[in-house]
Structure 1
């Protein structure tokens, strides 16, 4: 009587999907990489001896839930009155308004009006909880 041998199932790993992913990644990085076509040119960049003092021309105005106004300028926080806003906004080019999410719409609009009356056109608005 003949003996029948059981065939062993040899597990093999299909590498086709892995190779596809590697090629897709390769294509992605080749397309998304920017190449500097001036990289081989040796340039000495001139240095200016005159330094220009740049002033921080951005101010943040914060309104809390009790409609108290604060101004953040030069890394310092000052409580302010909305009627005295003009003296804090001298030489300011950009204002960011941050307010509590439960503020009345009219409160924010009054502040925006006061800021616009000072001639400031760059205005950002944020709300927090």
Structure 2
């Protein structure tokens, strides 16, 4: 009957308190989540044209895509050309300096691109950029 321990033994069990370690892990997790920059995507794959001069743009921007069919997409929803103005106006209320980036497919009609840029400018966008691929 060696399994049962006599309560009169003076053995002291040592235990490691895990609470401070768990607190530190949660604080680090919160720090990394808050400091991570979330890149917003339009939700469609667009074949962008190449340009000789390209530059990197800010990650905090309003991304609008124009597909080859002429659909205007924001956040995986087809908003149409008429929806661009209200969308841009609403997004600029929080941050008036936010640039608008239009990702137009190579096969998209120029008229649709011009309408989208015009709607964004009319809604108050100070910067409207067109996304391209780096030229070689």
TM-score for the superposition, normalised by structure 2 = 0.45
Structure number with greater Rg is: 1
